[in-house]
Structure 1
Amino acid sequence: MNPGIMMASQEGTRTGRSEDVGRRLKYIAPLRNERTDATSEQADYLGLENIQSWTGKLLPIATSDTSEGDDSTTGTANVYYSGDVLFGKLRPYLAKAFHADQDGVCSTELLVLKPQPYMHPRFLFYSLLSPIFVGQVDASAYGAKMPRANWECIGSMKLPTPSYVTQRLIADYLDRETSRIDALVAAKEKMLALLEEKRAALISRAVTRGLDPTVPRKPSGIDWLGEIPRHWETKKLKYVVSKIGSGITPKGGADSYQSEGIPLFRSQNVHFDGLRMDDIVYVDSDTHESMSNSKVLDGDVLINITGASIGRCFYIENLHGAANVNQHVCIVRPEPMIETKFLYFTLRSDVGQRQIDLSQSGSGREGLNFEALGNFSIVVPPLSEQKTIIRYLEKTGNQSNEMLREMQQSIALLRERRSALITAAVTGEIPVEEMRP
Structure 2
Amino acid sequence: MRIKSVVHNVVQKSDGASRPFLGLEDIESGTGRLLVKDLPFKAAEDSICHGPGDVLFSKLRPYLAKSYLPSANGTGTGELLVLRPNAEVNAKFLLYVTLSHPWVAWANTTAYGTKMPRTSWELVGDYRTWLPPLEEQRRIADFLDAETARIDRLAAARDAQLSALEERELAVIGHMLSGGATSQGGRATDWPWLPYIPANWSIGPVYAYYSTVLGKMLNPERASGEKLRPYLRNANVHWYEINTADMASMHFEANEVRRYSVAPGDLLVCEGGAGVAEAAVWDGRIEECYFQKSLHRVRRSSEVPVEWLMYWLRFAKACGVFDASGNLATIPHLTGEQLRQCRIPIPHDGQRLIRETSRRIGDMAKAGTLLNRAQKTLSERRQALITAAVTGQFDVSTASGRNVTDGVTA
Q: Is the 8 A contact 1:265 1:281 kept in 2?
A: yes
Q: Is the 8 A contact 1:270 1:312 kept in 2?
A: yes
Q: Which residue of 2 aligns with 1:276?
A: 243
Q: Is the 8 A contact 1:247 1:330 kept in 2?
A: no
2:190 counterpart (193, 213, 222)? 222
Structure 1 letter corresponding to 2:211? S
In the TM superposition, residue 204 of structure 1 has moved relative to its aligned partner by 1.6
1:128 counterpart (98, 104, 107)? 98
Q: Which stretch of the first structure deviates more once superposed, 112-121 or 99-108?
A: 99-108
**Percent pairwise identity:** 30
Is 2:286 the counterpart of 1:320? yes
Task: Write out aligned runs for 1:328-343 (5 A).
Answer: 328-343=294-309
Distance in 2 between the 1:144 and 1:257 partners? 23
1:405 counterpart (369, 372, 380)? 369
Task: Write out aligned runs for 1:43-62 (5 A).
Answer: 44-60=20-36
Distance in 2 between the 1:316 and 1:32 partners? 53
Structure 1 letter corresponding to 2:24? L
Do the aligned partners of residues 247 and 56 (structure 1) sit closer, same or farther apart at CA in structure 2, a change above 3 Å counting?
farther
1:241 counterpart (210, 217, 220)? 210
In the TM superposition, residue 360 of structure 1 has moved relative to its aligned partner by 5.6
Distance in 2 between the 1:166 and 1:133 partners? 20
Q: Any idea what SS the aligned residue of 1:119 has? A: coil
Distance in 2 between the 1:56 and 1:350 partners? 35
Is 2:50 the counterpart of 1:77? no
Q: Any idea what SS the aligned residue of 1:242 has? A: strand
Q: Is the 8 A contact 1:220 1:234 kept in 2?
A: no
1:203 counterpart (164, 173, 178)? 173
In the TM superposition, residue 247 of structure 1 has moved relative to its aligned partner by 4.2
Q: Any idea what SS the aligned residue of 2:11 has? A: coil
Q: TM-score, normalised on structure 1?
A: 0.80
Structure 2 alignment gaps of length 5 or more = 402-410
Q: Which stretch of the first structure deviates more once superposed, 196-205 or 135-144?
A: 135-144
Distance in 2 between the 1:268 and 1:36 partners? 38
Do the aligned partners of residues 292 and 37 (structure 1) sit closer, same or farther apart at CA in structure 2, a change above 3 Å counting?
farther
Q: Is the 8 A contact 1:204 1:351 kept in 2?
A: no
Q: Is the 8 A contact 1:141 1:149 kept in 2?
A: yes
In the TM superposition, residue 131 of structure 1 has moved relative to its aligned partner by 1.1
In the TM superposition, residue 209 of structure 1 has moved relative to its aligned partner by 0.6
Distance in 2 between the 1:351 and 1:33 partners? 44
In the TM superposition, residue 109 of structure 1 has moved relative to its aligned partner by 2.3
2:337 counterpart (353, 371, 381)? 371
In the TM superposition, residue 273 of structure 1 has moved relative to its aligned partner by 3.6
Do the aligned partners of residues 338 and 229 (structure 1) sit closer, same or farther apart at CA in structure 2, a change above 3 Å counting?
same
Structure 2 letter corresponding to 1:323? C
Q: Is the 8 A contact 2:139 2:397 kept in 1?
A: no
Q: Is the 8 A contact 2:9 2:81 kept in 1?
A: yes
Q: Is the 8 A contact 2:53 2:91 kept in 1?
A: yes
Q: Is the 8 A contact 1:24 1:159 kept in 2?
A: yes
Distance in 2 between the 1:363 and 1:155 partners? 38
Q: Any idea what SS the aligned residue of 1:157 has? A: coil
Q: TM-score, normalised on structure 2?
A: 0.85
Is 2:93 the counterpart of 1:93? no
Q: Which stretch of the first structure deviates more once superposed, 219-228 or 94-103?
A: 219-228
Q: Which residue of 2 aligns with 1:13?
A: none
Q: Is the 8 A contact 2:13 2:45 kept in 1?
A: no
Distance in 2 between the 1:239 and 1:108 partners? 52
Do the aligned partners of residues 352 and 238 (structure 1) sit closer, same or farther apart at CA in structure 2, a change above 3 Å counting?
farther
Q: Any idea what SS the aligned residue of 2:277 has? A: coil
Report Cα offsets for 1:221-280 as digits up to 9, x if no partner: 4343333223322111121112243543x1239x9599x953333332221141223444
In the TM superposition, residue 318 of structure 1 has moved relative to its aligned partner by 1.6
Report Cα offsets for 1:330-356 as digits up to 9, x if no partner: 333331322122221222124885432
Is 2:219 the counterpart of 1:251? yes
Q: Any idea what SS the aligned residue of 1:160 has? A: coil
Report Cα offsets for 1:351-374 as digits up to 9, x if no partner: 885432354677887323333322
Q: Which stretch of the first structure deviates more once superposed, 403-412 or 261-270?
A: 261-270
Q: Which stretch of the first structure deviates more once superposed, 201-210 or 263-272?
A: 263-272
In the TM superposition, residue 426 of structure 1 has moved relative to its aligned partner by 0.8
Do the aligned partners of residues 417 and 278 (structure 1) sit closer, same or farther apart at CA in structure 2, a change above 3 Å counting?
same
Do the aligned partners of residues 43 and 261 (structure 1) sit closer, same or farther apart at CA in structure 2, a change above 3 Å counting?
farther
Q: Is the 8 A contact 2:30 2:64 kept in 1?
A: yes
Do the aligned partners of residues 392 and 30 (structure 1) sit closer, same or farther apart at CA in structure 2, a change above 3 Å counting?
same
Q: Which stretch of the first structure deviates more once superposed, 303-312 or 26-35?
A: 303-312
2:12 counterpart (7, 27, 34)? 34
Structure 1 alignment gaps of length 5 or more = 1-22, 63-71
In the TM superposition, residue 141 of structure 1 has moved relative to its aligned partner by 2.7
2:386 counterpart (390, 409, 422)? 422
Distance in 1 between the 2:342 and 2:295 partners? 17
Q: Is the 8 A contact 1:257 1:281 kept in 2?
A: no
In the TM superposition, residue 172 of structure 1 has moved relative to its aligned partner by 0.9
Q: How many residues matched?
A: 394
In the TM superposition, residue 402 of structure 1 has moved relative to its aligned partner by 1.6
Q: Is the 8 A contact 1:307 1:365 kept in 2?
A: yes
Distance in 1 between the 2:45 and 2:258 partners? 42
Distance in 2 between the 1:43 and 1:238 partners? 52
Q: Any idea what SS the aligned residue of 2:9 has? A: coil
Distance in 2 between the 1:119 and 1:257 partners? 57
Structure 1 letter corresponding to 2:392? G
Structure 1 letter corresponding to 2:12? E
User: For the aligned residues, what is the CA RMSD?
Assistant: 3.3
